[in-house]
Structure 1
């Protein structure tokens, strides 16, 4: 078993990380998971949360608002809708993300009046963003 795997974190704005890691805790849409070298191939969606990286160069944490993670035995790629190093997150970042989620929920309620699926998804995103704001406590 290899000790490390290649990790890449990108958002639409920029590439945030590209390094060797020993593990990454991922806020998956179906629950938190930890990816390590020799992981079985998997693609998962992300929910708003904190991505935690542990590697030879130390630890790092990033706030992610959603996106996708592709895991295989030798690498992990995370394509985040929005990602910010946790030590750079301000209350304004959290408030902006909550307001975006709130607007998406209101739009879903108007557009999908008789389709609960999209409205429920938007409500879950809003609840996740609000809980994340409470958890980070900035």
Structure 2
């Protein structure tokens, strides 16, 4: 492949991926974006979603629950709160993620007393988690939410 950049994805527990890539699609909190070699320097926050990477061995997908991405002309480093290769994801992992998000939302609603702010942020987090699960073909178990 012609133009390549270094792609690194880490979570607090482990290094999830590290290899050369030609493009990385990122679920940013301000919207999706794609980083490519020689991209202008940028740091962005992530929302729950799917990182799509075009790399040395073809296309790969990684699930992230949030974090940061640092983009430089030489590459991209993603520091994820939690991350899994698409093939590692399971219904049990998604259920745990959704329960954590639901608990966070319940606490934010209790703390905010229906004022705008944290409750709205928590509702968006929950919606992003459900969309992420649906995107990869896993059920968000709507009835439990």
Q: Give the secondary-structure state (helix, strand or coil) at the position aligned to 2:117.
A: helix
Q: What is the distance in 2 between the residues matched to 1:27 and 1:125?
A: 12
Q: How many residues align?
A: 137
Residues 19 and 56, structure 2, Cα contact 8 Å, conserved in 1: no
Extract unaligned runs of 5+ from structure 2: 139-145
Q: Structure 1-normalised TM-score?
A: 0.94
Q: Give the secondary-structure state (helix, strand or coil) at the position aligned to 1:8.
A: strand
> Is 2:31 the partner of 1:31?
yes
> Is 2:45 the partner of 1:59?
no
Q: CA deviation at 1:115?
A: 4.0
Q: Alpha carbon RMSD of aligned pairs, Å?
A: 1.3
> Is 2:4 the partner of 1:9?
no
Q: Give the secondary-structure state (helix, strand or coil) at the position aligned to 1:116.
A: coil
Q: What is the distance in 1 between the residues matched to 2:17 and 2:24?
A: 12
1:1-138 to structure 2, matched below 5 A, reads 3-113=3-113, 115-138=115-138
| Per-residue deviation, residues 19-70 of structure 1 (Å, max 9, x unmatched) | 1111101111111111000001111111111101112232211011111101
Relative to structure 2, which stretch is displaced further, 113-122 or 86-95? Answer: 113-122
Q: What is the distance in 1 between the residues matched to 2:133 and 2:18?
A: 27
Q: What is the distance in 2 between the residues matched to 1:112 and 1:79?
A: 29
Q: Structure 2-normalised TM-score?
A: 0.89
Q: What is the distance in 1 between the residues matched to 2:89 and 2:32?
A: 21
Extract unaligned runs of 5+ from structure 1: none
